[in-house]
């Protein structure tokens, strides 16, 4: 279908503002512009019972970790580690604040968001190892955090979806923790992707194939690293034994096909998968609940899937 009218209006506002594509800016400019755009489109933040700021050990030093609670600490609750997007180059826990609040409230889970190290200052695999450390910390401190260690999930959007896939591979291969679910929102899954969706989406007013190349260029110190399954999960030789997945894609997204390819590969490996493509939507729509009705629907769908998995 054509670009949804609400998404078309968003595109028109970008055109009239004259805002340049992020990939034409300096890193500092792109990081500031990305956060400002996300906050402007996210709408009113969902109230939660508490938000806690923690400092946790990471493989390269301390990491910031934000914890959202749906109710005061008491009985153990399921927990979700949510990994923000931004091409491994932009972003912080502030990037996914509205998403984490909404999922915390709708799922009834404790949600953690970790400030993993960004590229190009810290290229692959720094972010993967930081996210793995955050999951281990969450599981290892479950008792004092009021978290049920037997009801854990990981999720993320875009690069956060890529990191989610990598973390689930590591958890499977390194002895846990056992995960109930993985939420993959338009994830990057293959550095060498050569798909119709990547070729056809080149609109400078939307996330496009040049955006994808810019982010990968920052993330990989050596392009050969893109063959590693923790960078390109679609290249993993074995996907069996991974947690059930929810995969969300967008029609007007250069990453659409590789996200759907990963869903098919998971299913072929015996992993239960539920997937949904949002027609007329561009990449990034999941965070735009204040602008796009489909974003609220997608977050509600994701919350329902997580709630069912973690109950």
Q: Residues with catalytic annotation?
A: 158, 253, 283
Residues linked to residue 183 through DSSP beta bridges, in sequence order: 155, 246
Collect all residues with Cβ–Cβ distance below 8 Å to 61 and sequence separation of at least 6: none
- Asked if 227 and 237 touch (Cβ cutoff 8 Å), the reply is no
- Whole-angstrom Cα distance, residue 56 to residue 54? 6
């Amino acid at each position: 279908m054509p670009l949804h009218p609400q998404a078309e209006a968003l595109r028109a506002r970008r055109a009239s503002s004259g805002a340049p594509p992020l990939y034409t800016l300096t890193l500092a400019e792109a990081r500031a512009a990305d956060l400002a755009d996300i906050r402007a489109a996210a709408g009113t933040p969902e109230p939660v019972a508490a938000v806690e700021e923690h400092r946790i050990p990471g493989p390269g030093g301390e990491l910031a970790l934000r914890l959202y609670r749906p109710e005061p600490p008491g009985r153990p609750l399921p927990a979700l580690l949510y990994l923000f997007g931004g091409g491994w180059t932009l972003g912080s826990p502030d990037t996914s604040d509205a998403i984490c609040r909404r999922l915390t409230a709708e799922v009834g889970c404790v949600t953690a968001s970790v400030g993993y190290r960004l590229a190009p200052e810290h290229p692959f695999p720094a972010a993967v190892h930081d996210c793995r450390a955050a999951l281990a910390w969450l599981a290892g401190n479950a008792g004092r955090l009021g978290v049920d260690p037997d009801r854990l999930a990981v999720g993320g959007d875009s690069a956060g979806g890529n990191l989610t896939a990598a973390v689930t591979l590591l958890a499977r291969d390194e002895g846990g923790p056992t995960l109930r679910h993985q939420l993959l929102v338009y994830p990057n899954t293959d550095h060498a992707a050569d798909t119709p969706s990547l070729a056809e989406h080149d609109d400078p007013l939307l996330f496009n194939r040049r955006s994808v190349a810019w982010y990968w260029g920052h993330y990989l110190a050596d392009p050969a690293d893109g063959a590693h399954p923790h960078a390109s999960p679609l290249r993993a030789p074995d996907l069996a034994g991974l947690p059930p997945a929810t995969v969300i894609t967008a029609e007007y997204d250069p990453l659409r096909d590789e996200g759907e390819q990963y869903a098919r590969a998971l299913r072929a490996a015996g992993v239960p998968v539920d997937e949904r493509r949002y027609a007329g939507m561009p990449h990034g729509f999941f965070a735009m609940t204040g602008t796009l009705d489909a974003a609220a629907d997608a977050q509600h769908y994701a919350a329902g899937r997580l709630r069912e998995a973690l109950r």
